[in-house]
Chain A
Amino acid sequence: MIYTSSFLLFVLPLILSTLSTLLLIIFRKGALARAVISITNSFLSLTILVLSLICLINNEHFNFALSIGILPYTHYVIPWPLYRIVFRIDALSAIFLLMLGIVALAASIYSYSYLEKYDKEYRLDFFGINYTWFITLMYLVIVVADIFWFLVFWELMTLFSQFLVSYEYRRKKAVTAGEKYFILTKAFAELMIIGAIVIILIGASGATSFSAISSKFKLMLYSSYPLAQVALAMFFTGLMVKAALVPLHSWLPEAHPEAPSNVSALLSGVMIKVSVYMMFRLFLFFSRPSLLWGLVISSIGTVTLIYGTMMALRQIDSKRLLAYHSIGQIGYVVLGLGACITLLSMSPSRTYLAAIAAIGALYHALNHAIFKSLLFLNAGAVEFATGTRNLNVLGGLSKVMPYTALTALIASFSISGIPPFNGFVSKWFLYVSTIPVKSYLPIFGFAAMFISSVTTASFMKLYTSIYGRPARKPLNDVKKPSFSMIFSMAILAFLCVLFGVVPFVPLRLISPAIHEVHIVKVDFASLIPHVLKIAMNPSIVIASIVFPIFGIIYTILIGNNMKSIKGWLCGRGEPIIKAIPVTKYYFEEFEEVFSEIYILSDALYAGLQKFSKVIGAFLNKFTKLSESPIYMAFIACLIVFLLLIIGLATGCLPG
Chain B
Amino acid sequence: MSTGVRDKVAVEQMIYTWVFALVNALVLLVYAPLLDGIGRKIRARIQRRRGPSILQTIYDLRKLYHMPGIIDGYSGRYARYAPALTMALAIMAGLMIPSFLPADTGCDLIVAAYLLVAVSIALTYGSLSMSIPYSVAGGCREASLMMASELCFAGAIASIAAAYGTLYIAVASPIIRLDPFKPSMIIAAAVLAIIAYVEGLNLPFEISEAEPELAGGALIGYGGRTLALLMHSSMIKETLFIALLVDLVFPWSILGTGPVGLVLRIAVFTVLTTFIYMVMRMIDAVYGRYTPRQAIRALKRVGLASIIAVILASIGW
Residues of chain A having any CB pair with chain B under 8 Å: 396, 398-399, 402, 405, 409, 416-419, 424, 428, 431-432, 435-443, 445-446, 449-450, 452-454, 456-457, 460-461, 463-464, 467-470, 532, 534-536, 538, 541-542, 545-547, 549-550, 553-554, 557-558, 561-567, 570, 575-578, 580, 585-587, 589-590, 592-594
Contacts and interface: CB of A to CB of B under 8 A. Distances in A.
B136 A557 contact: no
Interface in B212-226: 221, 223-226
Main secondary structure of the interface of A (DSSP, over half): helix
Contacts of A437: 162, 165
A576 B128 contact: no
Contact of A442 (B72, B106, B130, B162): B162
What 9 A-B pairs have minimum CB-CB distances, sorted nearest first? A536-B106, A468-B129, A575-B131, A453-B150, A535-B108, A468-B76, A566-B73, A464-B128, A446-B158
B151 A398 contact: no
A549 B158 contact: no
B139 to A, nearest CB: 8
A589 B128 contact: no
B183 interface: no
B307 interface: yes
B249 interface: no
A528 to B, nearest CB: 13
Given A468-B75, A575-B132, A436 B69 contact: no
B283 interface: no
B91 interface: yes
Nearest to B156: A446
B115 A438 contact: no
Contacts of A439: 314
A453 B146 contact: yes
Nearest to B151: A450
Given A469-B76, A550-B88, A567-B73, A419 B114 contact: yes
Nearest to B146: A453
Interface stretch (B54-62, B234-242, B293-301): B293-301
B132 A442 contact: no
Interface string B99-134: 000000111101101110110010011001111110
Contacts of A587: 140, 143-144, 147
A546 B78 CA distance: 17
B105 A541 contact: yes
A557 B229 contact: yes
Contacts of A590: 144, 147-148, 296
B302 interface: no
B314 A577 contact: no
Contact of B72 (A463, A565, A593): A565
B129 to A, nearest CB: 3
A438 B78 CA distance: 43
B201 interface: no
Contacts of B107: 536, 538
A551 to B, nearest CB: 8
Q: How large is the interface on B (under 10, 10 to 19, 20 to 34, 35 or more residues)?
A: 35 or more
B117 A453 contact: yes
A440 B313 CA distance: 10
B32 interface: no
B6 to A, nearest CB: 15
A564 B70 CA distance: 6
B53 interface: no
A88 B73 CA distance: 58
Given A418-B121, A446-B307, A469-B131, A550 B162 contact: no
Nearest to B168: A535
Contacts of A534: 108, 166-168
B70 to A, nearest CB: 5
Nearest to B104: A536
Contacts, number: 271
Given A562-B69, A562-B226, A442 B313 contact: yes
A441 B154 CA distance: 14
Contact of B147 (A405, A457, A536, A558): A457
Contacts of A396: 76
Interface stretch (B37-45, B79-87, B259-267): B79-87
A125 B38 CA distance: 71
Nearest to B295: A589
B181 interface: no
A449 B108 contact: no
9 contacts: A457-B144, A535-B166, A558-B69, A558-B226, A562-B71, A563-B69, A575-B74, A592-B293, A593-B296
B167 A435 contact: yes
B83 to A, nearest CB: 7
Nearest to A578: B131
A467 B76 contact: yes
A65 B77 CA distance: 50
A423 B145 CA distance: 22
B85 A468 contact: no
B218 to A, nearest CB: 12
B210 to A, nearest CB: 10
A438 B316 contact: yes
Contacts of A441: 314
B128 A469 contact: yes
